[in-house]
Amino acid sequence: MSKFNTHQPVFNLLSEVAQQQQTRAFVIGGYVRDCLLKRDFRKDIDVVVEGSGIDFAKAVAAKIGKDVQVAYFKNFGTAMLKYDGLELEFVGARKESYQRESRKPIVENGTLEEDQARRDFTINALAFELFPLNEDVIDPFGGLQDLENGILRTPLAPDQTYSDDPLRMMRAIRFATQLHFTIEAESLNAISRNRERIKIVSQERIAEELNKIILAEKPSIGFKILFETGLLELIFPEMANLQGVDVVQGKAHKDNFFHTLQVLDNLCQTTNNLWLRWSAILHDIAKPATKKFEPGHGWTFHGHEDKGARMVPEIFRKLKLPLNDKMKYVQKLVLLHLRPIVLSKEEVSDSAVRRLLFEAGEDIDDLMLLCQADITSKNKEKVKRYLANFELVKIKLKEIEEKDRLRYWQPPVSGNDIMVSFGIKPGKEIGLIKAAIREAILDGIIPNEFGAAYAFMVTEGEKLGLVLQRRLETSISDSEPL
């Protein structure tokens, strides 16, 4: 059996080019690592050549012939092309030295071994040669052993490695999370010692690694290491600030950091949606800011959902996450995250469910997933009881949704209908009447239909002293001119 699937045509191609060019060339990095770990089959192959990566890529492209698209990155000395459904990246072997103020190294041509030494982890430095094609792993730093033992270790001294390029600290934690590997002790200490160096890394790169941690199967692994090494405090202080327990009069509250991580891990079992996962991270973010001890009652966090939602834009801006509808979505989920739970604790009234459905709209299912993940307690009985009530809320939601179709709610009577009917111009009456109709529907006083809403509108208008000028049979759209 071929460890590296070298029977694929691409390897024959690369091997022939290496021979022709008389250049030593190797497959290195993620492809080698993931094949050995038998992880999902990878579609990207990194090739390192002792020579020019760009020239090598040109020769590969020439051999493939027509229709091949090559992207050259002259500044980095790399080139990329697609072949046979795979993404190939070529780079010249190099040795590097770093300046203190930047993660951009001074680069010189080097040998394979010099190149392997500048890689971040021994398990990412594994390589095999393309000509003659040979699946023996070239492993000068003990990466195979580390792969076997599940250890992340730097090829050179960890302090040097992390200080040279502090992004590697984030990468270490990201790989530890994705692969369930342990960061070797000296390395972990070096991350703590060098944590301040993270400041020279661009926020975009930090966010990229953070999102990869969040998309892993169990993101809490990464967040715990970020916290313990002191990196979290630097890159995402609001989250680090969730940690801690206060005790007053013998009463303690939950540690909101570990609670948040548990909610996140729970949620990850039901969704791969990055932004839904972010809403778990942020759902209690305002708990430290709203925390109060009320004598005779205990700890409260009144309004943390509201304040939390208001903190979301600033956090997204600082972390360089997108400031678009994704942010709005997270904001909405943070704002509403208590609502289904409140429902599950009391007698579930139709109108409360209707209101929730109306406010959550198309995100109701995601909100329910978040909320369900938020049911955590050391007391198993309590969790069971809450979950059972929660099921009732879900059933009720479904019933009412089928009956009232509030998920994509549009007012059955439009502002235009009101103006035409009473012969009035835009003004505050229209807003008042629309709000009254909406409330009546949500309270279940009238059904969500044109006929009933129209009759209700007539009465409401009359209360405001308006006189019906023209009776409508069906709604005319808001967009129609008067």
Considering the complex, state which of residue 88 and residue 232 has its C-beta at the smaller distance from Mg ion.
88
Q: Which of residues 32-61 bind ligand ATP (CB under 6 A)?
A: 46
Residue 259 binds which of ligand ATP, Mg ion, none (CB < 5-8 A, kind-dependent): none
Instruction: Name the amino acid, one letter, at 418.
Output: I
Of 13, 30, 36, 376, the one binding ligand ATP (CB under 6 A) is 30
Based on the shown chain and the rule CB under 6 A, indicate whether residue 366 belongs to the binding site for ligand ATP. Answer: no
Question: Does 153 help bind ligand ATP (rule: CB under 6 A)?
Answer: no
Alpha-carbon distance 258 to 252, whole Å?
Answer: 14
Binding mask 160-199 for ligand ATP (x = CB under 6 A): -----x-xx--x----------------------------
Beta-strand relationship, 86-92 and 94-97? unpaired
Report how far apart, in Å, the C-alpha atoms of 2 and of each of 36, 37, 244, 416, 417 are.
Answer: 11, 14, 51, 70, 72
CB of 117 to ligand ATP, least distance (A): 10
Q: Is 324 helix (H, G, I), strand (E, B) or coil?
A: coil
Interacting residues toward Mg ion by CB under 5 A = 30
- 117 contact, one of Mg ion, ligand ATP, none, CB 5-8 Å limit per kind: none
Q: Looking at beta carbons only, is 58 or 171 nearer to ligand ATP?
A: 171
Report, in Å, the least distance between residue 25 CB and ligand ATP. Answer: 15
Q: Which residues contact residue 305 at a Cβ distance below 8 angstroms, ignoring those fewer than 6 apart?
A: 283, 286, 334, 335, 336, 337, 338
φ/ψ (deg, to 5) at 28: -145, 160
Give the DSSP H or E segment for 299: strand 298-300
332 binds, among ligand ATP, Mg ion, none (CB under 5 to 8 A by kind): none
Q: Using the minimum distance from each CB to ligand ATP, give the nearer residue, 125 or 373.
A: 125
DSSP class of 346: S
In the chain, the amino acid numbered 395 is: I
Least spacing, CB of residue 84 vs ligand ATP, in Å: 19
Extended strands (E) in 123-211: 127-129, 134-138, 151-152, 182-183
- For 173, half-sphere exposure in the C-beta direction (CA atoms, 13 angstrom radius) is 33
DSSP 98: -
CA–chain centroid gap for 188, Å, is: 25
* Closest distance of CB 13 from ligand ATP, Å: 20
Residue with tokens 């205990």: 298
φ/ψ bin of 264: left (φ > 0), alpha (ψ from -120 to 50), beta (otherwise): alpha
User: Contact with ligand ATP (CB under 6 A): which of 50, 120, 146, 460?
Assistant: 120
Under the binding rule (CB under 6 A), the answer on residue 29 touching ligand ATP is: yes
Interface with ligand ATP includes 124 (CB under 6 A)?
yes
Q: Which is nearer to Mg ion, 155 or 461 (CB)?
A: 155
Q: Is 119 in the site for ligand ATP (CB under 6 A)?
A: yes
- Nearest approach in angstroms of CB 295 to ligand ATP is 52
The half-sphere exposure of 429 on its side-chain side, counting CA atoms within 13 A, is 22
Least gap, CB of 46 to Mg ion (angstroms): 6
Question: Which residue of this chain has its Cβ atom nearest to ligand ATP in the complex?
Answer: 30
Taking the CA atoms of residue 201, residue 158, residue 169 and residue 41 in that order, the dihedral angle to the nearest 10 degrees is: 120
Nearest CA-CA partner of 344 in 305, 302, 386? 386
Q: Does 146 bind ligand ATP (CB under 6 A)?
A: no
In the bound complex, what is the minimum distance in angstroms from residue 37's beta carbon to ligand ATP? 11
Residue number with CB closer to ligand ATP (210 or 335): 210
Q: Shortest Cβ distance from residue 222 to Mg ion (Å)?
A: 18
Query: Using CB under 6 A, which of the segments 120-128, 215-223, 235-243, 244-252 binds ligand ATP?
Result: 120-128
Q: Based on CB atoms, which residue is closest to ligand ATP, 186 or 314?
A: 186
167 strand-pairing partners: none
Of 104 and 345, nearer to ligand ATP (C-beta) is 104
What are the residues facing 134 on neighbouring strands? 129
Integer Cα distance of 174 and 225 in angstroms: 10
- Residue 138 C-beta: closest distance to Mg ion, Å: 19
Residues that bind ligand ATP (CB under 6 A): 29-30, 46, 119-120, 124-125, 165, 167-168, 171
